[in-house]
Chain A
Amino acid sequence: MAKSSGSNLNSAVNVSELIAENKKKKSINNYMEKLVPAILFLLASITVLTTIGILYTLISQAVHFFMEIPILDFFTGTELKPLSQNPEFGILPLLNGTIFSSLIAILVAGPIGIMSAIYLSEYASDKLRRILKPLLEVLAGIPTIVYGFFAFTFVTPLIRSIWPQVEATNILSPGIVMGVMIIPMIASLSEDAMTSVPNGIREGSLAMGTTKLETTIKVVIPAAFSGIMASFVLAISRAIGETMIVTIASGSSKNFTFDLTQSMQTMTAYIVEVSGGEAPAGSTLYYSLYAVALTLFVFTLIMNLLAKYISRKFREEY
């Protein structure tokens, strides 16, 4: 007690110093209070800069391309011969490959994903769901290059042993494997949509004497429809942007064909092929990268915005 009063006395002598010190601390604190949000704001705006960077690089370089190749020719051309003597740049073969591979993927992943979601949300016990769902999500965590290897060295030979006409690089096998890759995406998002349907509605239906299946098909799925649709659209967008699986397993044939057994090139695979070949900067070939990437970017952006629109617009509120 005596000691502390002594020190109090002591400090009382320096009280003006203390006040000054305290003020200094406060001013540093005040300074920090103003500085920190400014720094954090700058950090947050880096993401905006990234978007601007993407848009600027794609558009500014694609403009060079479109000065040499008219936009209309680019989007309606069925010939893509970037390396020939008289190069032709029609994007339709690439669009064709992209649409085919995504379509095959969604045909695989759609039914399986939604049926998995139904099982997980409506039928599985809590215990089973807690085991199955993370296991399913492992599929989404596997690097795409591993799927590419799998498609090329396992699925393609497997398909060829059943259907010998299929070529060593074809669009079917990467499409199927891509479908497996996006199963967890559809299953997970659709399951979220279904579990958020309130139990009261389900129980009301069951109390009327329906079976679980009837309740699921006629009550739960319609109520969760917007979420399910959004998951489909997001999965398609993911498939459109997927690169490594199609690059490895579908080869680089630029034929405009509808034959699933043949190699088709997607937009993403074209970008890998051309940039890997070290196209000289400034050539039409080099600029074609950006024109294709811009198309790809617009495609996926539209799909993502559509998914958001669907889930917001058609959501059933309970």
Chain B
Amino acid sequence: MENLEALHENNKMDARVRKNSIWKSIFFLSTLFGLVVLVVLIARVLFQGVSWIDLDFITARLSTNADRAGIMGAILGTVWVMLVVIPVTLIIGVGSAIYLELYSKKGIIRSFIEMNISNLAGVPSIVYGLLGLTVFVRLMDFGNVVLAGGLTLALLVLPILIVSAQEALRAVPGHLSEASYGMGATKWQTIRRIILPAAIPSILTGSILSLSRAIGETAPLTVLGIPALLIPFPGGLFDTFTALPMQIYYWTIDASLVAEYANLAAATIIVLLLILFILNSVAIIIRNKFQQRY
């Protein structure tokens, strides 16, 4: 027993154990730091904006008068842009993923396309804005309309969607497709009727997540030249538009002119975060509901 104590003494065991537990609390507090900031951020936004949210705020048109301003135009703009983003990203994204995962042979072409996709995912969003400005707004002469904004955001989130769709396809167990081939089905029949249906829940989850990324994205839209005060509602692909994050941006930078604009920005942030929260919850529900069925 004494020996053991001497050993403890020699190895400074007590001090080392104490050091361990002190650092454990420091590590824990660091983990909490991010969460505390998150709570402060949300509390701050709620505190500042929640009293400004009412039915009028949601349904009214934009106005320079803070008391009468509403965000219906921005909500509709976001919806219209998403109506472009969803089909474009789904078709191109899932199509590319099927090609890469199920058709292309391992080789130069495949690794080139995959390397290209992972590099695209790292390109700053503002650069996509310049691409959109140059190609969609000016070269194709769409102007700063819904279609140009939608296509720009679609290209931006495409890499995310492709990677998640690839993972979804990879997770479909091989015995399903083998059984299908064994029944005499062709490759495309197997993909269309067996692999795709099995992968759809995960693909859906991934596409909702990339969609919510597109909804919150501001930088590319600022480059396209979205007007600050747009009174008419957008009603089609070739109408000019504003979107929720753009509205937050304009109200935030103009808050030094009219103090109430900061509250409007906060209220719009609440609406935006609520939409993102709902979308993410749906994604999580889909994922949990269909997880590990095989």
Given contacts A45-B113, A278-B225, A290-B130, contact A301 B119 (CB under 8 A): yes
Q: Which residues of B contact A22 (CB under 8 A)?
A: none
Judge whether B30 and A112 touch: CB under 8 Å.
yes
Identify which of residues 217-262 in chain A touch chain B, using a CB-to-CB cut-off of 8 Å.
Answer: 234, 237, 240-244, 247-248
Q: Secondary structure of the B side of the interface?
A: helix
A180 within 8 A of B: yes
- Encoded as 1 (CB less than 8 Å from any A CB) or 0, chain B from 253 to 284 comes to 10110000010011001001100100010000
Q: Shortest distance in angstroms between B164's beta carbon and chain A's nearest beta carbon?
A: 14
Q: How many residues of A contact B (CB 8 A)?
A: 86
Q: Which A259-307 residues have a C-beta within 8 angstroms of B?
A: 268, 271-272, 275-276, 278, 281, 289-290, 293, 296-297, 300-301, 303-305
Given known A154-B44, A272-B222, contact A51–B255 (CB-CB < 8 A)? no
- Which residues of the partner chain B approach A199 to less than 8 Å between Cβ atoms? none
A136 in contact with B122 (CB, 8 Å) = no
With A37-B103, A43-B96 given, name 12 new contacts (CB 8 A): A44-B95, A47-B96, A47-B162, A54-B123, A111-B30, A115-B27, A136-B35, A144-B218, A149-B266, A150-B41, A212-B24, A305-B119
Q: Which residues of A contact B48 (CB under 8 A)?
A: 153
Please give me the residue from chain A that is nearest to B218 by CB atom. A145
Give the interface segment out of B61-69, B172-180, B186-194.
B186-194
Q: Is the CB of B272 within 8 A of A268?
A: no
Q: Establish whether residues A47 and B113, one from each chain, have CB atoms under 8 Å apart when the complex forms.
A: yes
**CB-CB < 8 A to B31: which residues of A?**
115-116, 119-120, 124, 132, 136, 187
Min CB gap A153→B, angstroms: 6
Residue among B119, B128, B158 facing the most chain A CB atoms (10 A cut-off): B119
Within 8 A of A (CB), among B6-24: 11, 16-17, 19-20, 23-24
Chain A residues within CB distance 8 Å of chain B: 29, 32-33, 36-37, 39-41, 43-48, 50-51, 53-54, 57-58, 61, 111-112, 115-116, 118-120, 122-124, 132, 135-136, 138-139, 141-150, 152-154, 168, 180, 183-184, 187, 209, 211-214, 234, 237, 240-244, 247-248, 268, 271-272, 275-276, 278, 281, 289-290, 293, 296-297, 300-301, 303-305, 308
CB within 8 Å of A: which B207-262 residues: 212, 215-219, 222-223, 225, 245, 248-249, 252-253, 255-256, 262
B92 at the interface (CB under 8 A from A): yes
A143 with B216: CB separation less than 8 A: yes
**Contact at B130–A53, with CB atoms within 8 Å?**
no
Chain B residue contacts of A54, Cβ below 8 A: 123, 127-128, 131
**Which B residue sits closest to A296, measured CB to CB?**
B124
Say yes or no: A47 contacts B158, CB within 8 Å: yes
The 9 A-B pairs of least Cβ separation, nearest first, read A241-B124, A143-B216, A43-B95, A115-B30, A119-B27, A40-B99, A243-B219, A44-B96, A304-B122
**Interface digits, B139-175 against A, CB 8 Å rule (1 contact, 0 not)?**
0000000000000000100110010000000000000
Within 8 Å CB of A276, what residues of B? 222-223, 225
Minimum C-beta distance from A280 to chain B (A): 12
A147 to B218, CA, bound (A): 12
Q: Is B120 an interface residue (CB 8 A)?
A: yes
B280 partner residues in chain A, CB cutoff 8 A: 141
With beta carbons under 8 angstroms apart, the residue of B124, B189, B215, B273 that contacts A243 is B124
Interface centre among A58, A213, A214 (most CB of B within 10 A): A213
Kindly state the separation between the CA atoms of A122 and B217 in the bound complex, as whole angstroms: 35
CA distance A111 to B19 in the complex (A): 18
9 chain-A/chain-B pairs, Cβ below 8 angstroms: A50-B155, A54-B123, A57-B131, A116-B34, A183-B33, A213-B24, A242-B124, A268-B219, A304-B122
With beta carbons under 8 angstroms apart, the residue of B117, B120, B126, B187 that contacts A272 is B126
In the assembly, what is the distance between CA of A99 and CA of B96, in Å? 36
Which of A149, A180, A275, A293 has most chain B Cβ within 10 Å? A149
Are A139's CB and B249's CB within 8 A? no
Interface string of B190-204 (1 = CB under 8 A from A): 000000000000000
Q: Is B134 an interface residue (CB 8 A)?
A: yes
State whether the Cβ of B45 lies closer than 8 Å to any Cβ in chain A. yes
B130's partner among A136, A242, A289 (CB-CB below 8 A) is: A289
